Structure 1
Amino acid sequence: MKRTSTAATRVFVYGTLLSGEPNHRLLRGARRIGSARTQPRFSLYDYGPFPALASRGKHAVEGEVYEVDTFILAALDRLEGHPHFYQRTSIALDGAGRVEAYLFPKARLTGRPTIKSGCWRTHLKEKKSW
């Protein structure tokens, strides 16, 4: 069956959906716009096997932007448990306009370590050297 969807949504990914990471396969068929970073108004947390992005922080977070159709967006929503686990929200990127991103409720991040570099890949490399 051929997918016919013209609606495109730009999504910022910053963890397991990044190219080369375990869940990137869900972005097959999406158009990669490029590397991007948030404005320095967020915090990135280590939530074990994946990161959690929260608003009202002080760091810029690195990631990638993809243009996805409604089918891929629905698959991403399922993966991220939107709206009950993560909440898909419109955010402003640094110099690249507004995109959708999956944010985690800050109240559920108490006690989780902050990733001060704002980069999940850098954090994973640092964890391996511990």
Structure 2
Amino acid sequence: MQTPELFTLAVYGSLRQGFHNHHLLAHCEYLGTFNSANRYTMVDLGSFPGLFHGNCSTIVVEIYRVDEDTLAKLDILEGHPEHYQRHPQTIEGFGEAWLYLMPEGYLDTTKVPQVSGGDWRAYRNA
């Protein structure tokens, strides 16, 4: 029997523990919560955040080990590759993980609220 391929995924919004899409990761191995380097912009898009390269903010991510079937379901949820694009990123204190980013120019980030501090949970609880 062939061992399924596993992927490391960093999530920062509705897939985090306690949010409405976390059930899709409930069976996956949780590897920890980390802060990224200062290289992102997180914006509030209503019930979920958007994430872009640039503007030098850190983000809080939870990292999971996911199988190919779960990754395929998450790609559908995230609208990969049109709405969000999954890219490998280095997460400080952890290493490389896939992260869903919005394409450059997808929307004008000056016209939506920015999530200062890059922590979707803290922002939603404020």
TM-score greater than 0.5 by the shorter chain: yes
Q: CA deviation at 1:28?
A: 2.7
* TM-score scaled by length of structure 2: 0.92
- The letter of the residue matching 1:11 is L
| 1:89/1:101 contact within 8 Å kept | yes
Aligned residue pairs: how many?
Answer: 123
2 CA distance for matches of 1:38 and 1:57? Answer: 13
Who is 1:11 aligned against? 9
Q: CA deviation at 1:109?
A: 3.1
Are residue 123 (structure 1) and residue 123 (structure 2) matched?
yes
Map 1:18-97 to 2 at 5 A: 18-97=16-95
2 CA distance for matches of 1:96 and 1:40? Answer: 15
- The letter of the residue matching 1:92 is T
2 CA distance for matches of 1:8 and 1:106? Answer: 28
Runs of 4+ aligned residues of structure 1 deviating over 3 Å after TM superposition are: none
Residues 41 and 82 (structure 1), Cα distance of their counterparts in 2 relative to 1, 3 Å cut? same
Q: Secondary structure at the match of 2:20?
A: coil
| 1:5/1:69 contact within 8 Å kept | no
- Taking only the aligned residue pairs, the percentage that are identical comes to 34
Q: Secondary structure at the match of 2:74?
A: helix
| 1:5/1:70 contact within 8 Å kept | no
2 CA distance for matches of 1:108 and 1:54? Answer: 9
Q: CA deviation at 1:107?
A: 1.5
Q: Secondary structure at the match of 1:43?
A: strand
- The letter of the residue matching 2:17 is S
Structure 2, unaligned runs of 5 or more? none
Q: CA deviation at 1:95?
A: 2.1
Q: CA deviation at 1:5?
A: 5.4
Name whichever structure is richer in strand by fraction: 2
2 CA distance for matches of 1:72 and 1:117? Answer: 29
- The letter of the residue matching 1:67 is R
Q: Secondary structure at the match of 2:122?
A: helix
- The letter of the residue matching 1:41 is R
2 CA distance for matches of 1:66 and 1:125? Answer: 23
